[in-house]
Structure formats: C-alpha cells, structure tokens
Amino acid sequence: MLRLRHPVSLLIICLLVMLGVLRSYTAPSPVGADAPDVVFSAIRAEAILRDLLQENVPHVSGSPDNTVVRNRVVSHLESSAYEPQFQARFHCNPMFGACSPVENIIAIKPGSEGKAAVLLTAHYDSGWAGPGAADDGSGMSAILEIARMAANFPPFKNDIIFLISDSEENGLIGADAFAEHHPLFEKVKVVINLEARGVTGPSALFETGEGNRSIIRMFAKNVERPLGTSLANEIYKRMPNNTDYTVYKRKGVMGVNFAIIQGVPVYHSAIDDPDHLDLGSLQHQGDNAWGMLKALGERDLDAITSREDAGYIDVFSKRLVHYPVSITSGLALFFGVWVMIAIGLAFRKVFRFHQLRWGLLAIPYVLLAIVAGGYILSWPLGQWPDLHPLEHPHPWVGRLALFLMLGLVGYSTLKLFSSRVSACAWMIIAWAMIFILGMQLTSRIPAASHIALIPLLMFALGSVIDLFRKKSPAPLLFASILGFAATCFISFYHFFMLDVVMNFDYSHFKVISFWLMALAVMPMLLAFAKDRELTWQPAKWLSLAILMVCLVHLFLPGFTAERPRDMTLMYSEIEGADAGYLVLESIYGRHDKEYAKSQGFEMMELNSGRLGSVERPVREVALLGLPAVEMVEEGVRAEEKGWHRELRIDLPANSHMLRLTIPKSIGLEKAWVNGELALDLSIESKYERSVDSLELVYPGAGPVTVGLQTTGPEAFTIAAVSWYDLPDALVAPFMDDWPDDAQPFMYGPRAEKIQEFELGAAQ
C-alpha cells in the first residue's frame, strides 16, 4: 500500500510550499537611486513623493492644498520635458451623485504611429483624513518617475498618455470627466491604473477588463514578479469597491488595475504619509507599471481585447500560470478521468466496494470539523478581542492556532477512522470530489478552474512517474505527493489571499481553503497509521497547545500606533438645537471605549444627517452656531412620467462639502446640479444605497441649482449636511490623552451642520 517513511516529510513539503506562497505576498526590495534609467527605482520615486506631499496634510480635490500638489505635479512633468495640460471643470459623476471641481493633469509621449494610446493613470487627490501617500501618492509618484524615464526612450509605437487624475476619492469624478469630455479618451485602447488600499505588501493585479486573455499573456511575459489570480478578479467584480478604472472598464476599455494590498488599517487614515509607505510596495507598483507600459507601448492595440477571458494564478510570484477558459472543461474532464483511472488501476486488486462506506462518513467529518474548528476559534481569535475588521497587526499567532487546529482535526480523523477507512477508499472519494469540483468550476466560474485543475494535473503527472517505478511497494506514491503539494499551494495561496480581506472573526471561512489539502493528505497518513496503535495523547497535547496559543493571541494588541483603529473627533450640530455635540466617530464601530469613558463620552442616538439616527459616543458642548445653508423650492412641474422639482440652494463661504439626502420613498430617478446631470439611478452600480444622496465637494460659496426628477408627487423631507473647519480650541482639551493606537479616518475631523427642509407636495 501507499506508504511513506514518515509523515514529517509531508510537513516539510507543506512548509516549503507555504514559504513559496508567502513570497507572493511579499514586496520586492526597493532599487536604489543609482540604478540606470531603464530600471524603476522606488528611492527616486520616493524623493518625488516627499516633494509632492511636503506639507503632509490632506488635499481633497477643490481644496487649496490640492492646488499646491497640482502645481508640483506639473513642475515635475515640465522638468521631464513634457508640456502638461489641464482639464478643468466642475463635474459630476452620475453613477455616485458626486460633484466637485476637477483639474486633471495630462502629459503625452507621442508614439511613432500614434494611432492608439495607452493610458497610465493614478489620482493625485487624497481623502479627507490624511495626505494619501500610498493612496494614491504611490501611484502618482511612480507615474511621474516612469514619465521621466520614458522621456529618454525613443518613441513607442503608440501614444502614451499620463493622466494624474483628480477627485477619485469623491466618486471617480476626474476619471469620469476625462472619459466623458476629453477628446484624447477616444484614442485610449488600454489603461494601466495604479491604486492602493494599504501601505505595504506587494502590488497585485486585482482587476482586468473583460476579454483579458491577451493582456494576461502580456502580464505573464513582461512583469518580473507577477502577483494575481483570476479568482480575485471574479471576487472584486462582486464587491462594492471602485477605482478610476471602473469608469474606463464600463466604457469597454481593456486594462490592468494594480493595487498595494496590505496594511489596510493605515488606508484613508491620518498616517497614510510618506513615512508609512513601504518602499518595496512602491518598487513593485512601479515595476508592474513600467513593465506593462513598455510592452503595451509597442503592441498593436486593436487586438488587445480578446474574445475570451483567461484563468490565472501566480506561482510564488515567479511565474504566472494562465489558460484560456474555453479549454477548462476539456482539461478537467481529461485529467479527472486520468486520475480516476490511475487510482482504479493501482488499487484494482485490493479494493472492495464496502471500504467506501466508512470513507463516505470520514470525509464529511473532516470537512465539517475544519469549519467547526475555525468557527470555535473565531471567538478567541476574532470575536472577543478588539480588532480591525480586515487586518491583524500580529497575525502569526492566530494563524498558528488555526494550523494547530487543522493538525488536531487530522489526527482525530486518523484515530477515529484509520482502522476502518483504507487509503485507497479515501483516495477514490477525495479525488472524485476534486474532479467534481473541477467540473463545477469550469461551468460556474471557469476562471477559477485552476483550483481543481492544478492538483489534478500534478496527480496525473505523478502517476506517470509511478508507472516507471516498478519496484516501488507503494503505488501512486509520487502521484499522491505531487497532488498533495499542489493542494498545499492552492490552500495556502487562498488562505493568505483571504487574510488580506478578512480578519480572524471569519476564521471558519478562511480555513475552508484547507479542504483540498486535507482531502489530498489523508490517504498517505491513513496508510502510515494503518498498523499502528494511536492514542488520544497527541490530540490532548494539540488541544492544550491551541489553548495556549489562543491565550497568547488574546494578549496581543489588535491595534498599534502603526496599525491604528479608526477614531475621529468631529462636531455635529442640528439646526435649531441649543447645544452641539462632540462625536467620537468610528466608521468601523471600534472606538476606544476606555478613552471615551474617561473623557465623558456617552452612547447616544444622534441625527445621522441622512434622514435617520445613529448611536455614537458623544459629549454635549456649547453651540458653535455654524453657518446655515438656505434652500428654496423654485418650482415643480409635471413631466411625462413624474415630477421635476427645482431647488435653489445658497451655500455659505468656507463650506467644504454639502450632502443632500433624499428619501427613497419619493422615487428619485435623476438629479442635476447647475444643469449638469449629477445622479442617474438607472446606471447600474456595484454600490447599494439605502438612501439617495448628492454630494458636492468644495462647491464654493453662492447659489447652486439642484433639479430632482421623481416619480412621486408627495411632500418629503430633504436632509442637508454641510462641513466646516473644526476649531482647534474645541478639540484641544481632548487631545492630551488621545490613544496612540487611534487615528482619524475617512472623513476626518470636521464640524458638520445638519438641516432638514420640508418640500411640499406637487400639485
């Protein structure tokens, strides 16, 4: 029978594969400033970044601070001998109901043919809370450095358009302005977009256009350290997130979207500054962009969109395995049948059907026990401790607990079933399941077929080696080992991938990645355990070890100064009230409770400014008396299938943002701001909204007209929130004891005024 010298060899294979996979999730080292100009250097790009973000403050589009950054971007382009141009307008993206002033910066490197163009883009505006060194200073500085390098290159075949876009954070407004109104957009056949949702780790290819077969082949060939899988692309399609590339993708333009993916707690926080950006991440981002730009620059772009998609996954970030999805069902069938025949032939003399019975019990036991173990551990690892929803600053202790749990499940399976389930029975059922999984994937998510195809292929290859090892007492040993190594790869790859998007409170979900590994390893372990007396002792030791590790994990901080919780001090006042409130805002609901208590904040229901209320830690303070927005209804007219209302809004000076919230009940279909379409709810969006809103970022003082097209004639209430500077004197007393592990996030410190207006019924 299938026999190993010792299961430790399996553990070694498993660890080696894990180390390989970890390479995928690591950024390269930054290349020094003395590197020749054909090589991207993160150190040179960092110097640009530090120059751009000297003041280290937030620079939302439309703010004076953003103008300062804009001017520096322009001077960098000019010093590389470009003649940058602006695209300036007040623009709205009707997909989000978001408007702001936009000043896109564009530079062109003309191509020798110049029939088509490659667009290399990143945004220069930041969010409200921090300077945005990673998001998207990393992309912007990488592009400025690449533009400088490209200037010394002979022309490529295609035009290269460098677009440093504005107002991405407010709703992809700059990108939308470029696509809708700039004549150059027509030439753009492919987009390279650079983004960040964290500050460290590799730059991953997380999204492409539809029909990516050809561009994926280019990615495999022209990027030194490819990281990405088509499954992430599939998952991203179903997530509510967006980047500038969303705009271009919806217009059918092919593209590759790269993002720095780890260190999420710093994303959109006050400390997304140059000191917190991992230069390795910047290096990887630049390498990816430069590699793709050179290749796409020379490429005939008429055929850049293929008729079909590719499935792909990187192997240790060394190589990209890719395949056209059209051949996956054939491959799954071919290798699946091969594997089943190989197993049948190898065990034809010893196999009896009744052996399958216990196997049919044991395999579901293992799969369920893994999930149950993950669920139980999700409490000490993720539910009880105070954690960021997406990332743990010290993940290895929790990971170790999960790995030990897998060991415990494996050992208990051996103890319970080794005398009842033969290795061959397990092997037949397990590989039949992997085969079925493969067939299911090829029909449902063909771009994820490699999850089953790679193990089937490796098992099949191993079976050929086994065929030539006549003297071996263990049939299919090589097939089993190669199949196991492949499942280790798939399991660890997806485990660490999920680690980037969920924390330990989803442990039961994360460990599903290990199902494949468990299916493939057990036949070898069963054969090893067959004639041995197993006791419960090792299981007891494993359980004790899990307990100890969980205990250590519970003592680890879930937030640190480098990976902070989100906590913003802001002021809120409702028109007509005689007091204001200081609010400890936490978008993730993880404010520091001890701090809140010590400073006298108490949980209270407060008007959310979105026609509802929300419970938050607040403290009453004297009224600031913020300026008010004025709104008059100028007219209502019946239209073909509904009503058109016209509002005139007068904005006070110094307001940074105005948000109008309109109840779902009146059936809003479209909205206009100063005559420009600002919201169109018929546009399909990945983003689900509970209320409809219009956001005007830095609209400037004075009158604005807003048009609303509704289906209902009834009277309704409209909420208006306007933002102003938060006076230092108000918050200073609370800053002395401010926790080290908390940073403003997302909308940042601000003073908001909430008003509600009654609009009459249409006649």
Distance, CA of 97 to CA of 338 (rounded, Å): 55
Give the DSSP letter string of 87-113.
EEEEEEETTTTEEEEEEEEEEEE--SS
Instruction: Give the contact letters, 79-118, x = binds to Zn ion (CB under 5 A), - = no.
Output: ----------------------------------------
Complex with Zn ion: residue 272 or 585, whichever CB lies closer:
272
How many residues make contact with Zn ion (CB under 5 A)? 2
Shortest spacing between CB 241 and Zn ion, in angstroms? 10
Shortest spacing between CB 174 and Zn ion, in angstroms? 11
The answer to whether residue 166 forms part of the interface with Zn ion (CB under 5 A) is: no
The answer to whether residue 176 forms part of the interface with Zn ion (CB under 5 A) is: no
Is the dihedral angle over the CA atoms 123, 126, 127, 128 positive or is it negative? negative
Q: Which range binds Zn ion by CB under 5 A, 130-138, 441-449, 578-586, 626-634?
A: 130-138
Q: Which range binds Zn ion by CB under 5 A, 127-135, 216-224, 245-253, 308-316?
A: 127-135
Q: Which range binds Zn ion by CB under 5 A, 131-139, 185-193, 407-415, 523-531?
A: 131-139
Complex with Zn ion: residue 124 or 426, whichever CB lies closer:
124
Complex with Zn ion: residue 121 or 305, whichever CB lies closer:
121
The H or E element containing residue 603 is: strand 602-607
Complex with Zn ion: residue 213 or 276, whichever CB lies closer:
276
The answer to whether residue 136 forms part of the interface with Zn ion (CB under 5 A) is: yes
Q: Which range binds Zn ion by CB under 5 A, 136-144, 451-459, 623-631, 678-686?
A: 136-144
Contact 150, 293 (CB under 8 A): yes
Complex with Zn ion: residue 158 or 743, whichever CB lies closer:
743
Residues 6+ apart with CB under 8 A from 5: none
Shortest spacing between CB 168 and Zn ion, in angstroms? 5
Phi-psi region of 505 (alpha: psi -120 to 50; beta: other; left: phi over 0): alpha
* Burial grade of 510 (CB within 10 A; 0-12, 13-18, 19 or more): buried
Complex with Zn ion: residue 135 or 692, whichever CB lies closer:
135
Q: Which range binds Zn ion by CB under 5 A, 128-136, 419-427, 549-557, 573-581?
A: 128-136
Q: What would the two tokens of residue 131 be? A: 């300077």
The answer to whether residue 466 forms part of the interface with Zn ion (CB under 5 A) is: no
Q: List the one residue from 135, 273, 309, 391 that touches Zn ion (CB under 5 A).
A: 135
What backbone torsions phi and psi does residue 708 show, to the nearest 5 degrees?
A: -125, 125
Shortest spacing between CB 169 and Zn ion, in angstroms? 6
Shortest spacing between CB 125 and Zn ion, in angstroms? 9
Q: Which range binds Zn ion by CB under 5 A, 135-143, 364-372, 431-439, 519-527?
A: 135-143
Closest CA to 160 of 215, 218, 113: 113
Check residue 714 and report its DSSP letter: S
Distance, CA of 487 to CA of 131 (rounded, Å): 42
From residue 60, how far is each of 63, 85, 100, 126, 485 by CA, in Å? 6, 20, 10, 5, 49
Q: Which range binds Zn ion by CB under 5 A, 134-142, 233-241, 465-473, 577-585?
A: 134-142
Distance, CA of 302 to CA of 296 (rounded, Å): 11
Q: What would the two tokens of residue 425 be? A: 């029975």
Check residue 268 and report its DSSP letter: T
Distance, CA of 704 to CA of 695 (rounded, Å): 12
| Residue 509 burial (CB count, 10 A) | 14
Complex with Zn ion: residue 87 or 170, whichever CB lies closer:
170
Which amino acid type is present at position 59?
H
Shortest spacing between CB 586 and Zn ion, in angstroms? 21
Complex with Zn ion: residue 46 or 135, whichever CB lies closer:
135
Query: Of residues 46-85, which lie at the interface with Zn ion (CB under 5 A)?
Result: none
* Burial grade of 493 (CB within 10 A; 0-12, 13-18, 19 or more): buried
Complex with Zn ion: residue 197 or 299, whichever CB lies closer:
197
Shortest spacing between CB 122 and Zn ion, in angstroms? 8
Shortest spacing between CB 136 and Zn ion, in angstroms? 4
Complex with Zn ion: residue 136 or 272, whichever CB lies closer:
136
Shortest spacing between CB 484 and Zn ion, in angstroms? 40
From residue 402, how far is each of 21, 376, 399 by CA, in Å? 17, 10, 5
Complex with Zn ion: residue 136 or 273, whichever CB lies closer:
136
- Applying CB under 5 A, the residues found at the interface with Zn ion are 135-136
